[in-house]
């Protein structure tokens, strides 16, 4: 998450909490609340507490209960598993489902690239970064994260030799 976005996490979270308080059936609001919680946790913008983890889980589950085929809700659940639980297999499954629901959203293949990078699967990460860049070729964040794949010397040394 870019530094400029980090400053938005706290007010975004406040507004989203107010939105779902006013309209508890606002599935997209619940999805975004969970995603903001995840972003705040991973960037250390929000305190890393069990209460935050629980809020992110409840928000994602509420969104999915309200609208099971909402791509943003599926993505929020994926981020919950990726960020809070470090359950990369489950996160991968949810992100793949979100990719089918949001085929033009570059954030989904970018997130899949993050998961594969965490799992040490460099070629898969590369392919997802390439897809994200095709969807949003001027997105500097995606390009920068893709570049990190190459600059991570520990990842390069663990890459299998091409046969």
Q: What is the pLDDT of residues 15-65, one digit of tens each?
A: 999 999 999 999 999 999 999 999 999 999 999 999 999 999 999 999 999
CA atoms within 13 A on the CB side of 157: 3
Tell whether the model's pLDDT for residue 157 goes beyond 70.
Answer: no
How many Cβ atoms sit within 10 Å of the Cβ of residue 30? 29
Distances (CA, A) of 124 to 19, 33, 58, 109, 130: 38, 29, 31, 10, 10
**125's tokens:** 């990460």
36 compared with 149, residue with greater pLDDT: 36
Q: What is the pLDDT of residues 75-124, one digit of tens each?
A: 999 999 999 999 999 999 999 999 999 999 999 999 999 999 999 898 99
Distances (CA, A) of 77 to 3, 70, 81: 24, 11, 6
The reported pLDDT for the residue numbered 126 is 92
pLDDT category of residue 4 using cuts at 50, 70 and 90: very low
38 compared with 154, residue with greater pLDDT: 38
The reported pLDDT for the residue numbered 158 is 53
The reported pLDDT for the residue numbered 147 is 86
The reported pLDDT for the residue numbered 3 is 41
Architecture of domain 1-85: Alpha Horseshoe (1.25)
CA atoms within 13 A on the CB side of 103: 1
Dump the DSSP string for 95-127. HHHHHHH-TT-THHHHHHHHHHHHTT-HHHHHH
Phi-psi category of residue 44: left, alpha or beta, with phi > 0 → left and psi -120 to 50 → alpha = left
128 burial class (0-12, 13-18, 19+ CB within 10 angstroms)?
A: buried
Sequence ranges of the domains in the chain: 1-85, 104-163
**Whole-model pTM?**
0.86
The reported pLDDT for the residue numbered 106 is 96
CA distance 111 to 155: 18
The reported pLDDT for the residue numbered 148 is 86
């Amino acid at each position: 998450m870019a530094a400029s976005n980090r400053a938005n996490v706290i007010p975004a979270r406040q507004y989203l909490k107010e939105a779902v308080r006013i309209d508890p059936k606002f599935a997209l609001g619940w999805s975004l609340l969970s995603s903001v919680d995840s972003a705040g946790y991973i960037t250390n913008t929000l305190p890393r507490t069990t209460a935050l983890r629980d809020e992110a889980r409840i928000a994602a589950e509420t969104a999915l209960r309200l609208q099971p085929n909402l791509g943003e809700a599926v993505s929020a659940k994926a981020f919950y598993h990726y960020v809070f639980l470090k359950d990369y297999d489950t996160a991968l499954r949810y992100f793949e489902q979100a990719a089918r629901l949001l085929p033009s959203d570059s954030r989904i293949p970018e997130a899949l690239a993050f998961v594969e990078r965490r799992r040490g699967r460099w070629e898969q990460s590369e392919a997802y970064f390439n897809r994200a860049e095709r969807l949003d070729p001027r997105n500097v964040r995606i390009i920068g994260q893709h570049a990190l794949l190459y600059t991570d010397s520990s990842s390069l040394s663990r890459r299998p030799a091409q046969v």
